[in-house]
Structure 1
Amino acid sequence: MSIVDLARTEIRALAPYSSARMEASGGTVLLNANESPWAPMDGDGLNRYPDPQPRALVEGLAALYGVDAANVLVGRGSDEAIDLLVRAFCRAGYDAVVVSPPTFGMYAVAANIQGATVIEAPLADDFSLDADALLGRVTPAVKLVFVCTPNNPTGNVVELSTIERIADALAGRALVVVDEAYAEFAGSPSAATLLDRHDNVAVLRTLSKAYALAGARVGTLVARADVVALLRKIIAPYPLPQASVDAALRAIDADGLALTRRRIATLVAERERLRTLLPTLPGVRGVLPSSANFLTVRFDDPRGTYAALLAAGIVVRDVGRYRGLGDCLRISIGTPDENARVVGVLAARREAA
Structure 2
Amino acid sequence: MKGKSFIDIRTLVRKNILTMKPYSSARDEFKGEAEVFLDANENPYPTPYNRYPDPLQKEVKEKLAALKGVDASQIFLGNGSDEAIDLLIRAFCEPNHDSILITEPTYGMYAVCADVNAVNIQQVLLTPEFDLDLDAFPNAFDATTKIIFLCSPNNPTGNLLSRDKIIEVLNRFYGLVVIDEAYIDFSNSRSFVQELKKYPNLVVLQTFSKAWGLAGLRLGMCFASEEIISILNKIKYPYNVNIRTQELSLEALENAYKKDIWVDEILNQRDKLIKALKGLKIVDKVYPTDSNFILVRVQDANATYRYLTDNKIIVRDRSRVSLCYNCLRITVGTPEENETLIKALKQL
TM-score by length of 1: 0.94
What is aligned with 1:204? 205
What is aligned with 2:34? 27
Q: Runs of at least 4 residues of structure 1 off by over 6 A?
A: none
Matching residue within 55, 59, 63 for 1:52:
55
Give 3-state SS (helix, strand or coil) of 1:286's partner: strand
Aligned partners of 1:77 and 1:219 also within 8 Å: yes
Superposed, which structure 2 residues align to 1:243-258 within 5 Å? Answer: 243-253=244-254, 256-258=255-257
Report the alpha carbon displacement of residue 3 of structure 1 after superposing the two structures with TM: 2.0
1:129-183 deviations in Å (ceiling 9; x for gaps): 122322431201000000000000000101332221111101xx21000000000
Distance across 2 between alignment mates of 1:51 and 1:184: 28
Report the alpha carbon displacement of residue 310 of structure 1 after superposing the two structures with TM: 1.4
- Could you list the runs of 5+ residues in structure 1 that have no partner in the other structure? none
Across the aligned residues of Structure 1 and Structure 2, the Cα RMSD in angstroms comes to 1.1
What is aligned with 1:10? 16
What is aligned with 1:89? 92
- Could you list the runs of 5+ residues in structure 2 that have no partner in the other structure? 1-6
Whether 1:175 and 2:181 are equivalent positions in the alignment is: no
Give 3-state SS (helix, strand or coil) of 2:177's partner: strand
Give 3-state SS (helix, strand or coil) of 1:233's partner: helix
Superposed, which structure 2 residues align to 1:1-353 within 5 Å? Answer: 1-25=7-31, 26-40=33-47, 44=48, 46-170=49-173, 173-253=174-254, 256-349=255-348
Distance across 1 between alignment mates of 2:291 and 2:92: 29
Percent identical: 39
How many residue pairs were aligned?
A: 341
Aligned partners of 2:131 and 2:162 also within 8 Å: no
Report the alpha carbon displacement of residue 122 of structure 1 after superposing the two structures with TM: 1.0
Report the alpha carbon displacement of residue 307 of structure 1 after superposing the two structures with TM: 1.9
Distance across 2 between alignment mates of 1:64 and 1:134: 35
Report the alpha carbon displacement of residue 320 of structure 1 after superposing the two structures with TM: 1.4
Report the alpha carbon displacement of residue 274 of structure 1 after superposing the two structures with TM: 1.6
Distance across 2 between alignment mates of 1:269 and 1:154: 19
Letter in 2 for 1:188: S
Distance across 1 between alignment mates of 2:279 and 2:185: 28
Letter in 1 for 2:309: L
Letter in 1 for 2:11: D
Letter in 2 for 1:34: N
Aligned partners of 1:135 and 1:166 also within 8 Å: no
Letter in 2 for 1:198: Y
Report the alpha carbon displacement of residue 53 of structure 1 after superposing the two structures with TM: 1.3
Q: Which moved more, 1:87-96 or 1:311-320?
A: 311-320
Give 3-state SS (helix, strand or coil) of 1:129's partner: coil
Report the alpha carbon displacement of residue 34 of structure 1 after superposing the two structures with TM: 0.4
1:289-310 deviations in Å (ceiling 9; x for gaps): 1101000111112122112211
Aligned partners of 1:145 and 1:175 also within 8 Å: yes
Report the alpha carbon displacement of residue 198 of structure 1 after superposing the two structures with TM: 0.7
Report the alpha carbon displacement of residue 63 of structure 1 after superposing the two structures with TM: 2.1
Distance across 1 between alignment mates of 2:240 and 2:120: 27
Distance across 2 between alignment mates of 1:135 and 1:33: 51
Give 3-state SS (helix, strand or coil) of 1:100's partner: strand
Aligned partners of 1:160 and 1:189 also within 8 Å: no
Letter in 2 for 1:182: Y
Distance across 2 between alignment mates of 1:326 and 1:94: 33
Distance across 1 between alignment mates of 2:263 and 2:247: 22
